Structure 1
Amino acid sequence: MEKKKAAVVDQSMLLCCKVFISESRNRAALDAIERAARRDPESVIVNKFEDRAYNRVTYTVVSYLVLDCTGNAVCSPLQQTVVAMAEAAYNAISLESHSGTHPRLGVVDDIMFHPLARASLNHAAWLAKAVARDIGTKFQVPSLLYGAAHEEGRMADAIRRELGYFKPNFNESQWAGGLNQESLALKPDEGPDQVDPGKGVVVIGATPWVDSFNIPVITTDLVAVRGIARRVSGRGGGLASVQAVALAHGESVVEVACYLLDPNTVGGPRVQLEVQRLAEEEGLDVSSGYYTVLSQDNIIQRYLRLFPLSATK
């Protein structure tokens, strides 16, 4: 393992994984997931974002990548760590008893890989596919690939629309219980066609860096904010590279929750201004938006602080 550590320092090959899990209120479940993540100290949780209203937690985990002499990926501690976190989540959480105001398809809802430093998108795709095989086989969870991990570059939101992700299944603003479909409308890339309602499905992908940015609108008018989210999104003719959805957040706020697919071109401040402009047309007040993940630079810096061996170059 010492040679592997030296290789990553020399080559600056790091991968980042965002693990989105449908739970934030069950402390014992989160503790079990975090214990699983700590089994291998060479993978580091550099950030954790919990949201009780959404009943969702996001872990940002980073580790190194080892390449062979031809530049192909051969292993990363992230693979074992992410699979261990998924196992702990499936053992501690049932989607059938879950509820919240954030859509979800599974207990482990999304696993998103990004290259950092000198790693490439192909390296991230290799790891996404390896994790999908593990989860599909070991836990019998249908796993659907997206981004660079999918042979046609399918987008995660396309999978979600096909599976009814954006349609609340409990009331106008809540998702509760497991998936309603035993057989999937889409064929999984790994794992069975049948859905365990307690586990659901997982989408796993590799993409260039994505920022998550949420903007609170002070209202209970979900319909009005849905219109704002649609108009600000690229799909609705708004800002290119922005995906947006309106989600109830507490008793008096509806958030415009955004994925910024090209944050260097269209970042949080630009989206904030556009949401404020559209909200003013509806007579609504807007609070300052916030990021739910760290920036790439902050993630690398925190990883190097928490895993000092990587800083010995």
Structure 2
Amino acid sequence: MTSRKLGLQLAACLLNVSEARNKHIVEKIANAALHDQHGHKHPDTSVLNVFSDYDYNRSVITIVSTAEQIGRSVTSACVEGFACIDLSQHDGVHPCLGAIDLIPIYPLSDVRPEECGLVAQVIAEDLAALVPGCSMFLFGHADEKTKKSLAEKRRGLWWFKKNTKADLTQLKADVGANPSKRYGLTGVGASPYVINCNVTLDTKDVAAGRFIANAIRSHADGVQALAFPHNGQVEIACNVESLVNTQCPNLLSESHKFISYSICSESYFYVCPLHLESQIRELARHQGINTVETALVGFTPQECKKTAEYAISHGIGEYWKKRRGIFM
């Protein structure tokens, strides 16, 4: 690793787009993160991972860059995504509100969530100017008024209901135009890193999966869980949030269940994915169900930081093409 890239302020965006069945479109969006509208390469930017799920019709594109640059790189990807994806034509089992559904900015090194919130605000404002008709809601550190989390904002916007697209035009945006059927409503915000961890159950019983997901939400600190039909089985899709001490009531008594890391002298903790998998397996066993596999969509925060430093220091923009499979 070349020393000139060490010590950079690094941030990540796990860009969620409502397209997975057209590989060409997904790769166009990923490549757009690396170049501006004139085809000039964005400096110090890499796409580390592209994960697409056919049943969900949803892709997660991991973009990393310096805190100074990531806003421009993410905006480039989103402009391309808005041009290519028509939400009114979308079909998938995963809920979504927007053609570009989610733009979360996470700190990786030497940058705070509050600074990422400022980046997210600029992204929302730039997209409103560059893509007339698109609409954004703000969450976390980008939402100056309420600081509501992503889950809180989504709950108030019917994201968890089945027929959200039918009601899109009734929703209120924080930035941009009134939501349209083509673009929908995009979530833009910032928080400490969130891991996507999915556990597959060997059953078609979605009701049993929802029971397990509800139990996980009730007992696992900082874990949001939902159950979806997936490839003829049921998947428990978990968002594992990074928390500070005051958000972890069980930290002292159950420290073995958490993994810690530090950014800017602030300590963060998240539930260990292996422990989460064990919890789901035990809950499933009581339902007479086996678990099949567990997949980490992308990286843990420590892996993301390390991989970002490597990719950027070696000038590897299309890093996702140089890795195979999913980091576990």
- Compute the TM-score of the two structures, normalised by the length of structure 2: 0.80
For residue 174 of structure 2, give the secondary structure of its aligned residue in structure 1: coil
2: CA distance, partners of 1:12 / 1:179 = 44
Does the 8 Å contact 1:226/1:245 carry over to 2? yes
2:134 corresponds to 1:141: yes
2: CA distance, partners of 1:13 / 1:310 = 16
Aligned ranges 1:90-169 → 2 under 5 Å: 90-139=82-131, 140-151=133-144, 152-169=146-163
Q: CA deviation at 1:11?
A: 4.4
Q: CA deviation at 1:179?
A: 4.2
State the match for 1:283 in structure 2: 288
For residue 298 of structure 2, give the secondary structure of its aligned residue in structure 1: coil
State the match for 1:200 in structure 2: 184
2:243 corresponds to 1:224: no
Say if 1:275 and 1:63 are closer, same or farther in 2 by CA, change over 3 A. Answer: same
State the match for 2:174 in structure 1: 189
User: Which sits farther off after the overlay, 138-147 or 200-209?
Assistant: 138-147
Q: CA deviation at 1:304?
A: 2.8
Aligned ranges 1:1-313 → 2 under 5 Å: 9=5, 11-39=7-35, 40-42=41-43, 43-65=45-67, 76-139=68-131, 140-151=133-144, 152-169=146-163, 178-184=165-171, 187-192=172-177, 194-233=178-217, 237-251=218-232, 253-262=233-242, 264=259, 265-308=270-313
Residues 178-229 of structure 1, C-alpha deviation per residue, up to 9 Å, x if partnerless? 4423131xx422112x211011010111111111111101111111111110
Q: CA deviation at 1:94?
A: 0.6
Say if 1:218 and 1:205 are closer, same or farther in 2 by CA, change over 3 A. Answer: same
For residue 104 of structure 1, give the secondary structure of its aligned residue in structure 2: coil
Does the 8 Å contact 1:24/1:51 carry over to 2? yes
Say if 1:200 and 1:229 are closer, same or farther in 2 by CA, change over 3 A. Answer: same
2: CA distance, partners of 1:305 / 1:10 = 10
Q: Which runs of 5+ in 1 are unaligned?
A: 1-5, 66-75, 170-174
User: Which sits farther off after the overlay, 109-118 or 37-46?
Assistant: 37-46
Q: CA deviation at 1:63?
A: 0.8
1: CA distance, partners of 2:310 / 2:8 = 15
Residues 229-287 of structure 1, C-alpha deviation per residue, up to 9 Å, x if partnerless? 01111xxx221211100011112x11110011136242211211111121112111112
- Compute the TM-score of the two structures, normalised by the length of structure 1: 0.84
User: Which sits farther off after the overlay, 17-26 or 299-308?
Assistant: 299-308
1:183 maps to amino acid = Q
Q: CA deviation at 1:92?
A: 0.9
2:277 maps to amino acid = Q
Say if 1:217 and 1:111 are closer, same or farther in 2 by CA, change over 3 A. Answer: same
1:180 maps to amino acid = D
1: CA distance, partners of 2:166 / 2:83 = 18
Does the 8 Å contact 1:137/1:190 carry over to 2? no
Residues 277-305 of structure 1, C-alpha deviation per residue, up to 9 Å, x if partnerless? 21112111112322102122322332233
State the match for 1:172 in structure 2: none
Q: How many residues align?
A: 281
Does the 8 Å contact 1:12/1:119 carry over to 2? no
1:244 maps to amino acid = A
When the two chains are superposed, the root-mean-square deviation of aligned CA atoms in Å is 2.1
Does the 8 Å contact 1:304/1:310 carry over to 2? no
2: CA distance, partners of 1:299 / 1:229 = 26
Does the 8 Å contact 1:9/1:310 carry over to 2? no
